[in-house]
Amino acid sequence: MPHDRRLTFKSPLVLLGLVCLTFLCLPAAAQFPDTPAARQFSAWLEAFNSGDRAVILKYFEANFPERVKNIDQTMNFRQRTGGFEFKKADESTPTRFSGTVKERNSEQLARFAIEVEPAEPHRISDFSLEAISPEAESPPKRMSESEALAALRAKLDADAATDRFSGAVLVAKYGKPVFTGAYGVADREKKIPNKLDTRFRIGSMNKMITAVAILQLVQAGKIDLNDPLGKYLPDYPNKDVASKVTIHHLLTHTGGTGDFFGPEFDAHRLELRTLQDYVILFGKRGLLFEPGSRWDYSNYGFLLLGVVIEKVSGESYYDYVRDYVYKPAGMISTASLAEDEVVPNRSIGYTKPEGGGAWRPNTDTLPYRGTSAGGGYSTVEDLLAFATALANHKLLDARFTELLTTGKVEARGGSKYAYGFMDRTVNGVRSLGHGGGAPGMNGDLEIYPAAGYVIAVLANMDPPAAQRISEFIGNRLPEK
């Protein structure tokens, strides 16, 4: 559940589905070079543009037979993304054609490359598609606040009508909401609608909470950022990890501590009930790389930060963040109660299988309880309260708030990772925040210091449903 799955395209199966989408553009002859690779790319797009399963299958059989078995996944992804607009060509040879496309349902850009066999009929031999930063191309036009919010409302209405968004959205300016809306249903079987106070699972967004808690203890002189993990967890099983990995490394995903999702987690998912249970299961593992040498997103690293909070504070992670983060911030609907406990207004997350098919509850993917690495649940109103409390220094003083949110290391997509926050500057506009996503859940909080805007989006469906909305409005609101 706490996975942070921002839109990245690496799997060939996903790549196939991403490019083969609705494509509104000039005639192929005017758009693409007259080469075998470019002609194949054009024909590929034309087949998928038809939206006809039979047409797509026929094309695959003739030109990319290894993808025939993945037709369900391709059609599912087609529905979710809404298509791509061709932006430009970068490279063109007889057997290779590459360039940039933009997803129609979001601001996401991707760089594609297609390679074909040199001999007739020039079947596809390789294809790749990699997400790139929106600033790599011309950004959407900035609008007035009223124009941007009108565009947002139109997009949300359209996405909700086509089942591409189900959740809640809040946009605030200097702490005052200027847009709120709830769409879709919290329970599809009972037809319970989502509301502004619906609780959605937040995945890795909880890393912001954990980082605040650690910095509070640093501010109080109880933790030193440069101390090794072993100072606070002297009995930690792997002594190499304990002696080399610092609190700073854990906060910035540079410790080499890796993930905990995978076969072992799946086998013990419901047995992992406390943070210490994770340490017992994973604590003997070694380092993936020398701490501090590079950035690599680590859910296990943030799990360990929660254990540190427990050791230093003398109380459970859940009690600490309740008393020292949620209560002072006025977050009345945020917690991490176990999945088998009844929580009023908590939505059901819905996911679609990779092979396609109907929405189904994500119940069998959820851990017993959220952790310091992510999980739990919140509302868009509570996320605004959190952002406001940070800005007003109710959680940390000015010095430590800046330390918390200022980028430290290069991360993905040209962003920098601070302490539990991403620090981004896209097209000259800086934002701070964190997203979260896993099957059946997606969310994003973005804080724009210069303009005073806060965007909070939560969804009870697969990524990137919420992040699409957050990026859409974030790229259109006024810069100041």
Among the three residues 103, 136, 169, which one is the final residue of a domain in this structure?
A: 136
> Is 295 inside a domain boundary?
yes
Return the top range by mean pLDDT from 4-13, 120-129, 305-314.
305-314
Q: Is the pLDDT of residue 56 over 50?
A: yes
Whether the pLDDT of residue 414 is over 90: the answer is no
In a domain, 77, yes or no: yes
Residue 104: pLDDT band with limits 50, 70, 90 = confident
Same-domain status, 110 and 167: no
Return the pLDDT at 41.
86
DSSP sequence for 133-186: -GGGSPPPPP--HHHHHHHHHHHHHHHHHTTS--EEEEEEETTEEEEEEEESEE
Instruction: Evaluate whether residue 313 is within a structural domain.
Output: yes
Residues 186 and 160 in one domain: yes
Residues 105 and 240 in one domain: no
pLDDT interval class at 22 (50, 70, 90) = very low
* Same-domain pairing of 374 and 419: yes
Instruction: Take residue 34 and report the two structure tokens written for it.
Output: 């007259």
Q: Please tell me whether residues 129 and 176 are part of one structural domain.
A: no
Lowest-confidence pick of 131-135, 177-181, 188-192, 209-213:
131-135
Domain that residue 399 falls in? 152-474
Q: Per 3-state DSSP, what percentage of the chain is helix, strand, and coil (rounded to 5)?
A: 40, 20, 40
Model confidence pLDDT, tens digit, residues 241-300: 999 999 999 999 999 999 999 889 999 999 999 999 999 999 999 999 999 999 999 999
Checking if the pLDDT of 231 tops 90, the result is yes
SS3 (DSSP) at 320:
helix
Residues 241 and 361 in one domain: yes
Last-in-domain residue among 77, 106, 136: 136
Classify residue 83 by its DSSP letter: -
Segment 113-132 shows an average pLDDT of 86
Q: What would the mean pLDDT of 417-423 be, rounded to a whole number?
A: 98
User: Side-chain half-sphere of 234: how many Cα atoms within 13 Å?
Assistant: 2
Higher pLDDT, 268 or 112: 268
Whether the predicted pLDDT of 28 surpasses 50 = no
The answer to whether residue 144 sits within a structural domain is no
- Which of the two residues, 46 and 306, has the higher pLDDT score? 306
CATH number at residue 306: 3.40.710.10
Is the model's pLDDT at 14 over the cut of 70? no
Overall average pLDDT of the 379-401 stretch: 98
* Contacting residues for 408 by C-beta, under 8 A, at least 6 apart: 248, 252, 416, 417, 418, 419
Residue 2 lies in a domain: no
State the average pLDDT for the chain: 89
| Lowest mean per-residue pLDDT among 10-14, 155-159, 211-215 | 10-14
Query: Count of residues for the chain?
Result: 480
Confidence of residue 398 (pLDDT cuts 50, 70, 90): very high
pLDDT for the residue 366: 94
230 in the same domain as 303: yes
Answer yes or no: are the C-beta atoms of 172 and 384 closer than 8 Å: yes
pTM, rounded to two decimals: 0.80
Q: What was the pLDDT predicted at 10?
A: 33
Digit-coded pLDDT (tens) for 288-343: 999 999 999 999 999 999 999 999 999 999 999 999 999 999 999 999 999 999 99
**Confidence (pLDDT) at 138:** 65
- 390: pLDDT strictly greater than 90: yes
- The DSSP line for 425-465 is EETTEEEEEEEEEETTEEEEEEEETTTTEEEEEEESBSTTH
- Tell whether 4 is covered by a domain: no
Indicate whether 317 belongs to any domain.
Answer: yes
Band (pLDDT 50/70/90 cuts) for residue 181 is very high
132/156 same-domain check? no
Does the CA dihedral 159-165-170-173 come out positive or negative? negative
The pLDDT, as a whole number, for residue 134 is 61
Q: For the residues 436-445, what does the mean pLDDT come to? A: 96
What is the CA angle 40-42-47, rounded to 5? 95
pLDDT category of residue 23 using cuts at 50, 70 and 90: very low
Query: What is the pLDDT, as a whole number, of residue 20?
Result: 34
- Judge whether residue 441 has pLDDT over 70: yes
CB 66 within 8 A of CB 47: no
Mean pLDDT, rounded, for 6-35: 44
Residue 228 — pLDDT band, cuts 50, 70, 90? very high
pLDDT, residue 257, reads 97
Question: Which tops the pLDDT comparison, 426 or 97?
Answer: 97
Long-range contacts of 356-363 (CB under 8 A, 24+ apart): 356/72, 356/73, 356/75, 356/76, 357/72, 357/76, 359/163, 359/188, 359/461, 361/440, 362/438, 362/439, 362/440, 362/441, 363/339
Reduced to 3 states (helix: H, G, I; strand: E, B; else coil), residue 76 is helix
Q: Are residues 274 and 404 in the same domain?
A: yes
Candidate from 55-69, 165-179, 261-275 with smallest mean pLDDT: 55-69
DSSP 228: B
Number of domains in the chain: 2
238 in the same domain as 173: yes
Q: Prior bond to 263 cis, omega within 30?
A: no
Residue 1 and residue 375 in contact, taking contact as beta carbons nearer than 8 Å: yes
Q: Which of 75, 104, 136 is the last residue of a domain?
A: 136
- Cα 46 to chain center, whole Å? 31
| The two three-digit tokens of residue 365, written as one number | 């993917």
* Spatial distance between the Cα atoms of 300 and 268, rounded to a whole number of angstroms: 15
Closest alpha carbon to 299 in 242, 259, 248, 336: 259
Average pLDDT over residues 402-423: 93
| Amino acid making up residue 412 | R
Q: 84 pLDDT exceeds 50?
A: yes
Do both 233 and 260 map to the same domain?
yes
Instruction: Taking residues 103-108, report their average pLDDT.
Output: 74
Do 209 and 357 lie in one domain? The reply is yes
Look at residue 145 and tell me if it is in a domain.
Answer: no
CATH of the domain at 17: 3.10.450
CA 247 to chain CA centroid, nearest Å: 24
pLDDT at 126: 85
Nearest to 276 by CA among 317, 239, 336: 317
Output the DSSP codes for 1-42. Answer: ------S----HHHHHHHHSS----S-HHHHS-SSHHHHHHH
27 vs 278: CA distance, rounded Å: 56
